[in-house]
Structure 1
Amino acid sequence: MRRRYKHFIQVAHDNALKSCMSHKHGCVIVYNNKEIIAQGINQQECEMKKVESIHAEVDAINQLRKMMNGKDKNFIQKCKLYVVRIGSKNMNYPLKESKPCEHCTKVITRIGIPSVYYSTQDEFLKAYEEMYHQKPSMGYSSPNTLRPNSVEQSLRRPICVVS
């Protein structure tokens, strides 16, 4: 794996260490394969009302939305999202399955990020190539463009709310 991608994964891993949740997830959004422009962790007690938890992907996307003010919409097409989950401290924080849940997949699709990479237990990082039926369009596309996810996968983490 290229050194640059290892850096992105390491930053996402370091972000996951900051999470107070039992399932620790960290996320980075990278522009043009060079620069980390947004970071996120899964967390509780966020600024939004009536939120039990927010997922790392949504946390990073909320940062991206704030910095996007006035930028060209093609900017998003050059972004990639990396999300990792880490295990417990007594096992030296190994990578775990971190495929985005159904809700996060919808948020990623709506904003239009074309490439998503997530950690697995078997592989270091896996591309989420099956995310869309079609290439996502900019703006807020219909959630019907998503492939249905399994019930098991959608129940793995609590649903998060986006303002």
Structure 2
Amino acid sequence: MLKKSVLLLILAYPVVAMCADKPDLQNWFNDPFFQVRNAIPACPVPLGPYLHEADIRQEEHGRVERGTSCWMAGRCAKPNAYMYDADIGKAVQDRFARSTGFAETSLWVTVKRKFVWVEGCVAGANQEAALQQLLQDVPEVEHVLVNVMQGTGNKPPYDVRP
């Protein structure tokens, strides 16, 4: 019996070691990511700004290029578009806090480079346009992307957290 246990441990070790070596997803750049509504409990949680450590280098390059191009084009007073994200995130949270709409939804928001992503589940088809309208005039926001699904019965139109 002891030999079988040792053999199982030896066979299982490579699988355990591979899982331990795989880094967890993290929000490496501290991009604003938060939930604003939670009425649909089975709604899949979006991946948001979470990355594996192996993806950081590629993301860093794009962030430098995209972030400074805003300033170089004269669209940003700050030297990098990502410097606006914390304030935009707070303004978006405030909009949702003041809004009585979207009570029957589960929604998450990601803010990156003056872009706002709203992802999650809604109860009605007309709520996508209403979300767009709620956030389109938040100061400093360049673009609002609404990726939601009605209910929870389909594959989400966004990447989900594992």
**TM category, shorter:** under 0.3
Point out which structure has higher relative CO (alpha carbons under 8 A, 6+ apart).
2
TM-score (norm 1): 0.27
Greater Rg by CA:
2
TM-score (norm 2): 0.28
Which structure carries more helix by proportion?
A: 2
